[in-house]
Structure 1
Amino acid sequence: MSDTTTPLPDLRRDDARYVLVSTWRVGDPAAQRAAAEAALAEWRGSPWPPGLLAHSVLLGTEGHTLLHYSQWTAERAVEDFRRAGRAARNAGIDARMPGIERVEATGYRLYRSAVPAEDVQPGVVVLVTFDTTSAEVGEGFVDALLSLRSGPALGAAPEGMRANHFHVAVDGSRVLNWAEFADEGAHQRVVDSSLRAGDEVPGLIGRTPGLTPLGFRRYLPYGTAVPG
Protein backbone atom coordinates (compact mmCIF):
# COMPACT_ATOMS: atom_id res chain seq x y z
CA MET A 1 0.00 0.00 0.00
CA SER A 2 1.06 3.60 -0.53
CA ASP A 3 -0.10 7.17 -0.13
CA THR A 4 -0.12 9.91 -2.76
CA THR A 5 1.63 13.07 -1.63
CA THR A 6 2.51 16.41 -3.20
CA PRO A 7 3.27 16.15 -6.93
CA LEU A 8 7.07 16.48 -6.75
CA PRO A 9 9.55 14.35 -4.81
CA ASP A 10 12.41 15.49 -2.59
CA LEU A 11 15.23 15.03 -5.07
CA ARG A 12 18.02 15.71 -2.57
CA ARG A 13 17.09 13.13 0.06
CA ASP A 14 20.23 11.39 1.30
CA ASP A 15 18.87 7.85 1.18
CA ALA A 16 18.00 7.95 -2.56
CA ARG A 17 21.16 6.38 -3.97
CA TYR A 18 19.61 5.12 -7.22
CA VAL A 19 17.07 6.84 -9.46
CA LEU A 20 15.18 5.11 -12.26
CA VAL A 21 13.82 7.48 -14.92
CA SER A 22 11.45 5.99 -17.48
CA THR A 23 9.12 7.33 -20.15
CA TRP A 24 5.81 6.12 -21.55
CA ARG A 25 3.91 7.21 -24.65
CA VAL A 26 0.15 7.24 -25.21
CA GLY A 27 -2.18 8.57 -27.89
CA ASP A 28 -3.65 11.79 -26.52
CA PRO A 29 -3.98 13.98 -23.39
CA ALA A 30 -6.99 12.05 -22.09
CA ALA A 31 -5.08 8.78 -22.30
CA GLN A 32 -2.06 10.50 -20.75
CA ARG A 33 -3.97 11.45 -17.59
CA ALA A 34 -5.70 8.07 -17.48
CA ALA A 35 -2.33 6.29 -17.66
CA ALA A 36 -0.92 8.48 -14.90
CA GLU A 37 -3.87 7.75 -12.64
CA ALA A 38 -3.69 4.03 -13.48
CA ALA A 39 -0.03 3.96 -12.45
CA LEU A 40 -0.61 5.76 -9.15
CA ALA A 41 -3.71 3.68 -8.41
CA GLU A 42 -1.73 0.48 -8.94
CA TRP A 43 1.00 1.69 -6.57
CA ARG A 44 -1.63 2.63 -3.98
CA GLY A 45 -3.32 -0.76 -4.17
CA SER A 46 -0.30 -3.07 -4.32
CA PRO A 47 2.40 -4.17 -1.87
CA TRP A 48 5.15 -1.57 -1.63
CA PRO A 49 8.51 -2.85 -2.93
CA PRO A 50 11.38 -2.96 -0.41
CA GLY A 51 13.88 -0.21 -1.14
CA LEU A 52 11.51 2.07 -3.07
CA LEU A 53 11.34 5.50 -1.45
CA ALA A 54 9.02 7.38 -3.81
CA HIS A 55 7.54 7.06 -7.29
CA SER A 56 6.59 10.26 -9.13
CA VAL A 57 4.57 10.69 -12.32
CA LEU A 58 4.72 13.78 -14.55
CA LEU A 59 2.85 14.63 -17.76
CA GLY A 60 4.58 15.84 -20.92
CA THR A 61 3.27 19.22 -22.00
CA GLU A 62 2.80 17.92 -25.56
CA GLY A 63 0.04 15.60 -24.30
CA HIS A 64 1.54 12.21 -25.23
CA THR A 65 4.39 11.30 -22.87
CA LEU A 66 4.61 10.41 -19.19
CA LEU A 67 7.71 10.58 -17.04
CA HIS A 68 8.28 8.23 -14.10
CA TYR A 69 10.92 9.22 -11.55
CA SER A 70 11.53 6.49 -8.95
CA GLN A 71 13.89 6.91 -6.00
CA TRP A 72 15.43 3.74 -4.54
CA THR A 73 17.85 2.97 -1.76
CA ALA A 74 20.09 0.93 -4.10
CA GLU A 75 20.24 -0.58 -7.57
CA ARG A 76 19.93 -4.04 -6.02
CA ALA A 77 16.45 -3.16 -4.77
CA VAL A 78 15.41 -2.34 -8.34
CA GLU A 79 16.81 -5.63 -9.60
CA ASP A 80 14.90 -7.53 -6.90
CA PHE A 81 11.66 -5.78 -7.86
CA ARG A 82 12.20 -6.54 -11.54
CA ARG A 83 12.53 -10.23 -10.75
CA ALA A 84 9.70 -10.49 -8.24
CA GLY A 85 7.09 -7.82 -8.89
CA ARG A 86 7.45 -5.69 -12.00
CA ALA A 87 5.57 -7.99 -14.40
CA ALA A 88 2.52 -8.15 -12.12
CA ARG A 89 2.65 -4.39 -11.51
CA ASN A 90 2.78 -3.63 -15.25
CA ALA A 91 -0.04 -6.10 -15.92
CA GLY A 92 -2.19 -4.36 -13.33
CA ILE A 93 -1.54 -0.97 -14.91
CA ASP A 94 -2.24 -2.29 -18.41
CA ALA A 95 -5.53 -3.79 -17.21
CA ARG A 96 -6.57 -0.35 -15.98
CA MET A 97 -5.25 1.49 -19.07
CA PRO A 98 -4.43 -0.53 -22.23
CA GLY A 99 -2.25 0.84 -25.00
CA ILE A 100 0.73 2.22 -23.06
CA GLU A 101 4.03 2.17 -24.95
CA ARG A 102 6.98 1.88 -22.56
CA VAL A 103 9.74 3.78 -24.35
CA GLU A 104 12.90 3.62 -22.23
CA ALA A 105 14.28 3.44 -18.71
CA THR A 106 17.66 4.66 -17.46
CA GLY A 107 19.28 4.33 -14.06
CA TYR A 108 20.91 7.43 -12.58
CA ARG A 109 22.55 8.77 -9.46
CA LEU A 110 22.09 12.36 -8.37
CA TYR A 111 25.45 14.07 -8.82
CA ARG A 112 24.99 17.74 -7.89
CA SER A 113 22.19 20.23 -7.28
CA ALA A 114 21.98 24.00 -7.62
CA VAL A 115 19.15 25.62 -5.66
CA PRO A 116 18.89 29.43 -5.61
CA ALA A 117 17.99 31.33 -2.48
CA GLU A 118 14.71 32.51 -3.99
CA ASP A 119 11.94 30.03 -3.22
CA VAL A 120 9.90 29.56 -6.39
CA GLN A 121 6.95 27.17 -6.48
CA PRO A 122 7.70 24.86 -9.42
CA GLY A 123 4.92 24.49 -11.95
CA VAL A 124 6.93 22.77 -14.67
CA VAL A 125 9.93 20.43 -14.77
CA VAL A 126 12.25 20.55 -17.77
CA LEU A 127 14.39 17.49 -18.44
CA VAL A 128 17.54 18.32 -20.39
CA THR A 129 19.54 15.28 -21.52
CA PHE A 130 22.95 14.62 -23.01
CA ASP A 131 24.66 11.50 -24.27
CA THR A 132 28.13 11.07 -22.76
CA THR A 133 31.03 8.77 -23.51
CA SER A 134 31.77 8.26 -19.80
CA ALA A 135 30.68 9.28 -16.33
CA GLU A 136 33.80 11.43 -16.08
CA VAL A 137 32.70 13.42 -19.13
CA GLY A 138 29.28 13.99 -17.57
CA GLU A 139 30.63 14.99 -14.18
CA GLY A 140 33.20 17.32 -15.74
CA PHE A 141 30.52 19.03 -17.80
CA VAL A 142 28.27 19.53 -14.77
CA ASP A 143 31.17 20.91 -12.73
CA ALA A 144 32.08 23.35 -15.52
CA LEU A 145 28.46 24.41 -15.99
CA LEU A 146 27.94 25.13 -12.30
CA SER A 147 31.23 26.99 -12.16
CA LEU A 148 30.03 29.08 -15.07
CA ARG A 149 26.70 29.67 -13.36
CA SER A 150 28.41 30.93 -10.21
CA GLY A 151 30.72 33.26 -12.12
CA PRO A 152 30.15 36.75 -13.51
CA ALA A 153 29.24 35.53 -16.99
CA LEU A 154 25.74 34.41 -16.00
CA GLY A 155 25.23 35.92 -12.57
CA ALA A 156 22.13 35.17 -10.50
CA ALA A 157 19.63 32.48 -11.41
CA PRO A 158 17.02 33.64 -13.94
CA GLU A 159 13.66 34.78 -12.62
CA GLY A 160 11.29 31.86 -12.25
CA MET A 161 13.98 29.17 -12.04
CA ARG A 162 13.83 27.16 -8.82
CA ALA A 163 16.48 24.45 -9.03
CA ASN A 164 18.68 22.28 -11.23
CA HIS A 165 19.38 18.69 -10.20
CA PHE A 166 22.07 17.01 -12.29
CA HIS A 167 22.04 13.23 -12.63
CA VAL A 168 24.69 10.98 -14.16
CA ALA A 169 23.69 7.58 -15.57
CA VAL A 170 25.14 4.68 -13.61
CA ASP A 171 26.63 3.29 -16.83
CA GLY A 172 28.15 6.66 -17.72
CA SER A 173 26.14 7.03 -20.93
CA ARG A 174 23.98 10.04 -20.13
CA VAL A 175 23.55 13.23 -18.11
CA LEU A 176 20.10 14.47 -17.10
CA ASN A 177 19.28 17.87 -15.67
CA TRP A 178 15.98 18.03 -13.78
CA ALA A 179 15.30 21.78 -13.94
CA GLU A 180 12.37 23.29 -12.06
CA PHE A 181 10.65 26.49 -13.20
CA ALA A 182 7.63 28.47 -12.10
CA ASP A 183 5.96 27.86 -15.45
CA GLU A 184 6.67 27.19 -19.13
CA GLY A 185 7.08 30.90 -19.80
CA ALA A 186 9.92 31.17 -17.29
CA HIS A 187 11.77 28.37 -19.05
CA GLN A 188 11.14 29.84 -22.49
CA ARG A 189 12.64 33.15 -21.35
CA VAL A 190 15.84 31.28 -20.43
CA VAL A 191 15.88 29.59 -23.83
CA ASP A 192 15.38 32.91 -25.61
CA SER A 193 17.89 34.90 -23.56
CA SER A 194 20.68 32.47 -22.59
CA LEU A 195 20.67 29.47 -24.92
CA ARG A 196 21.22 31.17 -28.27
CA ALA A 197 24.14 30.42 -30.56
CA GLY A 198 27.15 32.22 -29.15
CA ASP A 199 25.89 32.26 -25.55
CA GLU A 200 28.04 30.84 -22.75
CA VAL A 201 26.16 27.60 -22.11
CA PRO A 202 25.91 26.48 -25.77
CA GLY A 203 29.59 27.36 -26.09
CA LEU A 204 30.47 25.11 -23.15
CA ILE A 205 28.41 22.29 -24.63
CA GLY A 206 30.11 22.64 -27.99
CA ARG A 207 33.64 22.52 -26.60
CA THR A 208 33.09 19.54 -24.28
CA PRO A 209 34.45 16.37 -25.95
CA GLY A 210 32.28 13.29 -25.56
CA LEU A 211 29.08 15.27 -24.89
CA THR A 212 26.11 15.21 -27.29
CA PRO A 213 23.01 17.30 -26.50
CA LEU A 214 19.67 15.51 -26.92
CA GLY A 215 17.38 18.47 -26.25
CA PHE A 216 14.74 19.03 -23.60
CA ARG A 217 11.17 18.08 -22.72
CA ARG A 218 8.77 19.90 -20.42
CA TYR A 219 6.62 18.07 -17.88
CA LEU A 220 3.82 19.03 -15.51
CA PRO A 221 3.86 17.52 -11.99
CA TYR A 222 1.03 15.03 -11.45
CA GLY A 223 1.57 12.93 -8.32
CA THR A 224 4.04 11.11 -6.08
CA ALA A 225 3.39 7.80 -4.33
CA VAL A 226 5.23 7.03 -1.08
CA PRO A 227 5.02 4.13 1.39
CA GLY A 228 1.81 4.21 3.42
Structure 2
Amino acid sequence: MTRRTDAHPVLTDPRARAPFFSTWRVGTPERQQLTVEAIARTWERQPWPTGDLLSYHVYTGRDGSTLMHHSQWASEQAYEAFVRTRRQERVDEIDTAVPGIERVGLDRYRHHRSRERAVGDTRVPGLIVAVRIDFEPAAAEERRHWIDLVLKALDDDPVGHRGLISAHFHLSTDGGHVLNYAEWESERAYDEVLAAPGEGIGAPTEQWERVRTYPAVTGFTPARYEHALGLLPS
Protein backbone atom coordinates (compact mmCIF):
# COMPACT_ATOMS: atom_id res chain seq x y z
CA MET A 1 0.00 0.00 0.00
CA THR A 2 0.89 3.69 -0.16
CA ARG A 3 1.16 6.14 2.70
CA ARG A 4 1.70 9.87 2.94
CA THR A 5 4.59 11.48 4.76
CA ASP A 6 5.45 15.06 5.66
CA ALA A 7 9.13 14.15 5.77
CA HIS A 8 11.36 15.40 2.99
CA PRO A 9 13.33 12.89 0.91
CA VAL A 10 16.81 11.78 1.90
CA LEU A 11 18.77 12.86 -1.16
CA THR A 12 21.85 10.88 -0.09
CA ASP A 13 20.05 7.52 0.22
CA PRO A 14 22.55 5.08 -1.36
CA ARG A 15 19.70 2.87 -2.57
CA ALA A 16 18.44 5.64 -4.88
CA ARG A 17 20.71 4.88 -7.80
CA ALA A 18 18.29 6.46 -10.30
CA PRO A 19 16.85 9.75 -9.01
CA PHE A 20 14.46 11.46 -11.43
CA PHE A 21 13.08 15.00 -11.51
CA SER A 22 10.28 16.22 -13.74
CA THR A 23 8.11 19.31 -14.15
CA TRP A 24 4.40 19.75 -14.82
CA ARG A 25 2.84 23.05 -15.79
CA VAL A 26 -0.71 23.37 -14.45
CA GLY A 27 -1.38 27.10 -14.77
CA THR A 28 -2.65 28.52 -11.47
CA PRO A 29 -2.19 28.12 -7.69
CA GLU A 30 -5.68 26.62 -7.48
CA ARG A 31 -4.81 24.01 -10.10
CA GLN A 32 -1.52 23.30 -8.33
CA GLN A 33 -3.46 22.29 -5.22
CA LEU A 34 -6.07 20.33 -7.16
CA THR A 35 -3.33 18.40 -8.95
CA VAL A 36 -1.48 17.57 -5.73
CA GLU A 37 -4.73 16.28 -4.24
CA ALA A 38 -5.46 14.24 -7.37
CA ILE A 39 -1.98 12.68 -7.25
CA ALA A 40 -2.43 11.78 -3.59
CA ARG A 41 -5.87 10.19 -4.15
CA THR A 42 -4.71 8.24 -7.17
CA TRP A 43 -1.61 6.82 -5.53
CA GLU A 44 -3.28 6.05 -2.20
CA ARG A 45 -6.02 4.08 -3.95
CA GLN A 46 -3.55 1.75 -5.62
CA PRO A 47 -0.84 -0.59 -4.35
CA TRP A 48 2.69 0.75 -4.20
CA PRO A 49 3.98 -0.21 -7.65
CA THR A 50 7.31 -1.83 -6.73
CA GLY A 51 9.86 -2.08 -3.96
CA ASP A 52 12.34 -0.51 -6.36
CA LEU A 53 10.53 2.83 -6.00
CA LEU A 54 11.82 4.19 -2.70
CA SER A 55 9.81 7.42 -2.55
CA TYR A 56 7.83 9.91 -4.63
CA HIS A 57 7.61 13.61 -3.72
CA VAL A 58 5.72 16.53 -5.24
CA TYR A 59 6.52 20.23 -4.81
CA THR A 60 4.51 23.34 -5.67
CA GLY A 61 6.39 26.06 -7.52
CA ARG A 62 6.41 29.50 -5.98
CA ASP A 63 5.62 30.76 -9.49
CA GLY A 64 2.04 29.58 -8.90
CA SER A 65 2.07 27.53 -12.09
CA THR A 66 4.35 24.50 -11.88
CA LEU A 67 4.87 21.29 -9.95
CA MET A 68 8.20 19.52 -9.53
CA HIS A 69 8.24 15.75 -9.06
CA HIS A 70 11.10 13.82 -7.52
CA SER A 71 11.13 10.03 -7.54
CA GLN A 72 13.87 7.85 -6.10
CA TRP A 73 14.34 4.59 -7.99
CA ALA A 74 16.70 1.71 -7.36
CA SER A 75 17.36 1.47 -11.10
CA GLU A 76 16.26 2.90 -14.40
CA GLN A 77 15.09 -0.55 -15.44
CA ALA A 78 12.57 -0.54 -12.57
CA TYR A 79 11.23 2.80 -13.74
CA GLU A 80 10.91 1.57 -17.33
CA ALA A 81 8.96 -1.46 -16.12
CA PHE A 82 6.62 0.84 -14.19
CA VAL A 83 6.06 2.97 -17.31
CA ARG A 84 5.15 -0.12 -19.34
CA THR A 85 2.72 -1.61 -16.84
CA ARG A 86 1.37 0.84 -14.27
CA ARG A 87 2.03 4.47 -15.09
CA GLN A 88 -0.67 5.17 -17.68
CA GLU A 89 -3.63 4.31 -15.48
CA ARG A 90 -2.39 6.78 -12.88
CA VAL A 91 -1.82 9.46 -15.50
CA ASP A 92 -5.33 8.95 -16.88
CA GLU A 93 -6.95 9.26 -13.46
CA ILE A 94 -5.04 12.45 -12.62
CA ASP A 95 -5.83 13.96 -16.04
CA THR A 96 -9.52 13.20 -15.57
CA ALA A 97 -9.49 15.09 -12.28
CA VAL A 98 -7.42 18.01 -13.60
CA PRO A 99 -7.56 18.26 -17.41
CA GLY A 100 -4.95 20.17 -19.36
CA ILE A 101 -1.77 19.34 -17.42
CA GLU A 102 1.36 20.00 -19.47
CA ARG A 103 4.13 17.52 -18.72
CA VAL A 104 7.22 19.53 -19.56
CA GLY A 105 9.84 16.82 -19.28
CA LEU A 106 11.65 14.19 -17.23
CA ASP A 107 15.36 14.35 -16.42
CA ARG A 108 17.41 11.42 -15.18
CA TYR A 109 20.30 11.89 -12.77
CA ARG A 110 22.96 10.32 -10.62
CA HIS A 111 23.63 11.83 -7.22
CA HIS A 112 27.23 13.05 -7.13
CA ARG A 113 28.09 14.99 -3.97
CA SER A 114 26.32 16.83 -1.17
CA ARG A 115 26.85 19.42 1.46
CA GLU A 116 24.85 17.58 4.08
CA ARG A 117 23.06 19.14 7.02
CA ALA A 118 25.13 19.57 10.16
CA VAL A 119 24.95 16.93 12.86
CA GLY A 120 22.05 17.78 15.17
CA ASP A 121 20.39 20.13 12.68
CA THR A 122 16.68 19.29 12.83
CA ARG A 123 15.33 22.23 10.82
CA VAL A 124 12.54 21.45 8.37
CA PRO A 125 13.20 23.11 5.00
CA GLY A 126 10.76 25.91 4.29
CA LEU A 127 12.03 26.38 0.75
CA ILE A 128 13.57 24.13 -1.88
CA VAL A 129 15.64 25.85 -4.55
CA ALA A 130 16.32 23.66 -7.59
CA VAL A 131 19.07 25.20 -9.70
CA ARG A 132 19.86 23.82 -13.15
CA ILE A 133 23.42 24.58 -14.28
CA ASP A 134 23.95 24.03 -17.99
CA PHE A 135 27.34 23.15 -19.47
CA GLU A 136 28.83 23.23 -22.95
CA PRO A 137 28.13 20.06 -24.97
CA ALA A 138 31.67 18.69 -24.68
CA ALA A 139 32.11 19.55 -21.00
CA ALA A 140 30.45 16.61 -19.22
CA GLU A 141 33.56 15.83 -17.17
CA GLU A 142 33.93 19.48 -16.15
CA ARG A 143 30.74 19.20 -14.11
CA ARG A 144 32.48 17.30 -11.33
CA HIS A 145 35.23 19.89 -11.05
CA TRP A 146 32.66 22.68 -10.89
CA ILE A 147 30.78 20.94 -8.06
CA ASP A 148 34.05 20.54 -6.16
CA LEU A 149 34.62 24.29 -6.50
CA VAL A 150 31.15 25.08 -5.17
CA LEU A 151 31.54 22.86 -2.11
CA LYS A 152 34.97 24.31 -1.40
CA ALA A 153 33.59 27.85 -1.74
CA LEU A 154 30.76 27.03 0.67
CA ASP A 155 33.16 25.58 3.22
CA ASP A 156 35.49 28.59 3.06
CA ASP A 157 32.87 31.33 2.74
CA PRO A 158 33.59 33.92 5.48
CA VAL A 159 30.00 35.14 5.42
CA GLY A 160 28.45 31.72 5.81
CA HIS A 161 24.95 30.61 4.88
CA ARG A 162 23.06 30.16 8.10
CA GLY A 163 19.81 29.69 6.21
CA LEU A 164 21.19 26.91 3.99
CA ILE A 165 20.44 23.48 5.44
CA SER A 166 21.93 21.30 2.71
CA ALA A 167 22.78 21.19 -0.99
CA HIS A 168 22.70 18.07 -3.17
CA PHE A 169 24.36 17.99 -6.57
CA HIS A 170 23.15 15.64 -9.30
CA LEU A 171 24.68 14.90 -12.70
CA SER A 172 22.23 14.51 -15.58
CA THR A 173 22.75 11.21 -17.38
CA ASP A 174 22.80 12.99 -20.75
CA GLY A 175 25.95 14.86 -19.70
CA GLY A 176 24.46 18.29 -20.24
CA HIS A 177 23.80 19.80 -16.85
CA VAL A 178 23.94 19.67 -13.06
CA LEU A 179 20.95 19.96 -10.73
CA ASN A 180 21.51 21.44 -7.28
CA TYR A 181 18.66 20.57 -4.92
CA ALA A 182 19.17 23.02 -2.04
CA GLU A 183 17.21 22.96 1.20
CA TRP A 184 16.74 26.39 2.81
CA GLU A 185 15.33 27.29 6.18
CA SER A 186 12.91 29.77 4.62
CA GLU A 187 12.36 31.95 1.60
CA ARG A 188 13.36 34.96 3.67
CA ALA A 189 16.72 33.35 4.51
CA TYR A 190 17.34 32.68 0.82
CA ASP A 191 16.41 36.23 -0.16
CA GLU A 192 18.74 37.64 2.49
CA VAL A 193 21.65 35.73 0.99
CA LEU A 194 20.76 36.96 -2.50
CA ALA A 195 20.62 40.53 -1.20
CA ALA A 196 24.04 40.34 0.48
CA PRO A 197 27.11 41.94 -1.19
CA GLY A 198 28.25 40.05 -4.26
CA GLU A 199 26.46 38.56 -7.25
CA GLY A 200 23.88 36.05 -6.08
CA ILE A 201 24.80 33.18 -3.79
CA GLY A 202 28.24 33.46 -2.26
CA ALA A 203 30.41 36.15 -0.74
CA PRO A 204 32.52 38.34 -3.08
CA THR A 205 35.53 36.01 -2.85
CA GLU A 206 37.91 34.71 -5.49
CA GLN A 207 36.55 31.19 -5.03
CA TRP A 208 32.96 32.22 -5.66
CA GLU A 209 34.06 34.26 -8.67
CA ARG A 210 35.61 31.09 -10.13
CA VAL A 211 32.29 29.30 -9.60
CA ARG A 212 30.25 32.04 -11.25
CA THR A 213 32.58 32.51 -14.24
CA TYR A 214 33.53 28.88 -14.84
CA PRO A 215 34.26 28.69 -18.59
CA ALA A 216 32.23 25.55 -19.36
CA VAL A 217 29.04 26.83 -17.68
CA THR A 218 26.51 28.32 -20.09
CA GLY A 219 23.72 29.27 -17.69
CA PHE A 220 22.00 29.03 -14.33
CA THR A 221 18.22 28.51 -13.98
CA PRO A 222 16.89 28.60 -10.39
CA ALA A 223 13.33 27.71 -9.37
CA ARG A 224 11.69 27.91 -5.94
CA TYR A 225 9.46 25.19 -4.53
CA GLU A 226 7.63 24.11 -1.41
CA HIS A 227 7.31 20.45 -0.44
CA ALA A 228 3.65 19.54 -0.90
CA LEU A 229 3.35 15.74 -0.83
CA GLY A 230 5.46 12.77 0.08
CA LEU A 231 4.49 9.19 -0.75
CA LEU A 232 6.13 6.03 0.57
CA PRO A 233 5.43 2.31 0.61
CA SER A 234 3.58 1.33 3.77
TM-score under structure 2 length normalisation: 0.89
Code of the residue aligned with 2:152 in structure 1: it is S
Contact 1:16-1:71 at 8 Å conserved across structures: yes
Q: Could you tell me how far 1:213 is from its partner in structure 2?
A: 2.1
Contact 2:150-2:208 at 8 Å conserved across structures: no
Q: Could you tell me how far 1:192 is from its partner in structure 2?
A: 1.6
Q: Distance in 1 between matches of 2:226 and 2:165?
A: 15
Match of 1:89 in 2: 90
- Deviation readout 1:36-81 (Å, 9 max, x if unpaired): 1111221211232221110000101121110100000011111111
SS at match of 2:14: coil
Q: Distance in 2 between matches of 1:171 and 1:140?
A: 17
> Residues 179 and 194 from structure 1, CA distance in 2 versus in 1: closer, same or farther, beyond 3 angstroms?
farther
Q: Percent identity?
A: 35
> Residues 52 and 43 from structure 1, CA distance in 2 versus in 1: closer, same or farther, beyond 3 angstroms?
same
Extract structure 1 runs of 4+ deviating beyond 4 A: none
Q: Could you tell me how far 1:121 is from its partner in structure 2?
A: 2.2
Match of 2:19 in 1: 19
What's the Cα RMSD here?
1.9
Contact 2:153-2:208 at 8 Å conserved across structures: no
Match of 2:149 in 1: 144
Contact 1:124-1:218 at 8 Å conserved across structures: yes
Code of the residue aligned with 2:79 in structure 1: it is V
Matches within 5 A, 1:119-134: 119=121, 120-132=123-135, 133=137, 134=139
SS at match of 2:141: helix
TM-score under structure 1 length normalisation: 0.91
Q: Distance in 1 between matches of 2:88 and 2:197?
A: 44
Q: Could you tell me how far 1:205 is from its partner in structure 2?
A: 3.7
Q: Distance in 2 between matches of 1:140 and 1:106?
A: 21
Q: Could you tell me how far 1:156 is from its partner in structure 2?
A: 6.5
Q: Could you tell me how far 1:125 is from its partner in structure 2?
A: 0.3
Q: Distance in 1 between matches of 2:70 and 2:177?
A: 16
Match of 1:190 in 2: 193
SS at match of 1:135: coil
SS at match of 1:99: coil
The runs of 5 or more residues in structure 1 that have no matched partner are none
Q: Distance in 1 between matches of 2:28 and 2:208?
A: 33
Contact 2:55-2:233 at 8 Å conserved across structures: yes
1:161 and 2:167 aligned = no
Corresponding pairs, count: 226
The runs of 5 or more residues in structure 2 that have no matched partner are none
1:37 and 2:37 aligned = yes
